[in-house]
Amino acid sequence: MTKVYGIIGRSLGHSFSPEFFASKFKKIRADAVYRKFEIGSIEKFSSIVSAEPNLVGLNVTIPYKKEIIPYLDAVSDEVKTIGAVNTVLLKSGKLYGYNTDVVGFKKSFQSLNLGKTKCLVLGTGGAAQSVYFVLDQLGIEYQKVSRGKSLGDLTYKELDKDILNRFPCIINTTPLGMAPNKGKPDLPYRFLSEKNTLVDLVYQPRVTPFLEEGLRRGTRIKNGFEMLISQAEASWEIWQTVDN
């Protein structure tokens, strides 16, 4: 029986997952396929499940990480806190939701060995929720930065040299800079120094305009590639709990 895995989203042309898992299946000689399920609305999710009797697992991407939750039978504790799912397991006729972005970010962030360095988290969307969760777990102080005061602790306009000194690690959770987007968060980059660390959850391109600004000023930088790989591997481990 060929096991079926896949990814659901609205636009999957540049998705990393199909190539990653196809390579993995070939390497371990798994009798499995990985498919793209592009859907225009989350209401079509149930038809995917019913049409694929050998479906074992799914990755979930924009814009359905929140919308998929009502269609699931149970979710992990991380999902209950974060409110977003990026991995679905089909087991014994039930649908289970997980968030492996937490695993991916934690592994990537800890590899920087920053200790209890205070962080600014740019953005307040779904990706940011995973970052908050990990920083809370690690006991690291952080402040949220958003365009509107009602969404974050700080607005971009409030950022200055003193804040960038007090919160040396800056984590971009927004999609700004993701190819083909050339944008970058609205920061006072002139105040950055070698004391700062810039972390971008974007992985394509490897050096975003946000990270380029840091390189010019001698900061440490890290993109989202390690997080991407780690969250994918965590999804795979979850799917292996199926006994068939």
Question: What are the structure tokens assigned to 171, written together?
Answer: 């984590």
Measured CA angle at 102 (ends 99, 108), to 5 deg: 140
- Please name the residue ranges forming H helices in 58-116: 77-82, 101-110
Q: Which listed residue (36, 44, 65, 118) is catalytic?
A: 65
Please, which residues bridge with residue 59 across strands?
A: 7, 87
Q: With H, G, I as helix, E, B as strand and everything else as coil, classify residue 16.
A: coil
Q: With H, G, I as helix, E, B as strand and everything else as coil, classify residue 22.
A: helix
- Please name the residue ranges forming H helices in 44-120: 45-51, 77-82, 101-110
- Treating both helix axes as pointing N-terminal to C-terminal, what angle do 101-110 and 225-239 enclose, rounded to 10 degrees? 130
Q: With H, G, I as helix, E, B as strand and everything else as coil, classify residue 179.
A: coil
Residues 86 and 65: their CA atoms lie apart, in Å, by 6
What number of residues does the chain have? 244
- Please name the residue ranges forming H helices in 111-169: 126-138, 161-166
**Is 222 part of the annotated catalytic residue set?**
no
- What are φ and ψ of residue 41, in 5° steps? -155, 155
Which of 82, 51, 81 has its CA nearest to residue 65? Answer: 82
The set of catalytic residues is: 65
